[in-house]
Amino acid sequence: MPHKQEMLPFVGELHPTARQVGALNMIRCDDNGRWVGAMFDGAGCVLGMQWEDNHPANKSVLLVGAGGAGRAIAFAVASAGAPTLTIFDIDERRADELAKSVAAATGCATSFGAPDPRGHELVINATPLGMKPNDPMPVDPNRLEPGSTVVDIITTPDPTPLCRAARQRGCRTQGGRPMHEGQAVHALRLGFDYRPEGKSLQDIGMPSQPANDAAPLKPKF
């Protein structure tokens, strides 16, 4: 798995996205030879949810996973207008510290809690659970509220076991692809030469040489 927090000491400068989250998932070398690190998991996730009509604004959110991706998503979801956010991680201390940091930075009512989706309008899996055939579910799908939205940031398999089970419960679901593509839009706007594997700039709705102030566009697929 990516070492998003362990990479921090190896870059010379942190973009504000990485500085706030305390993790990074992209680096580039600037004109002075300095390595710059940024984190687009959160912004990409929220942009992907917006494209899929699953925006977190005004929704009670359960986030499972407080690693590098989970940290970024927590700050981004709270900043995007979620009124309440519950964070669970097997490392309870890590989840509790993240919840306090998010609450202080955004004003969102954020707390550590159990991975129980009952009562939540939006459930996000930011753990690797589901990548391997014998992985347990990150949440009990029988506790999902029918009509709620489940976002699983895993890209393979697609759909994930969680998303398949959520659909059987009458939930909206979203896989990891929109988040992955959302990251590309944000990264390219800030000068990071990154795009989903096998995709050109035009494929993700960007001009061949995007301007730094260009508005993010929805990928064209």
The residue from 4, 59, 132, 220 that is catalytic is 4
Sign of the CA dihedral with 160 first, then 120, 1, and 7 last: positive
Angstrom distance (rounded) from CA 173 to CA 164 = 8
Residue with tokens 């929805």: 218
Which residues lie closer than 8 Å to 66 by C-beta, 6 or more apart? 74, 87, 88, 89, 91, 94, 95, 98, 126
Give residue 141's Cα distance to chain centre: 20
DSSP structural state of residue 205: T
Cα Rg of the chain, angstroms: 17
- Residue 149 — φ and ψ, nearest 5°? -115, 135
**4 has catalytic annotation:** yes
**What amino acid positions are annotated as catalytic residues?**
4
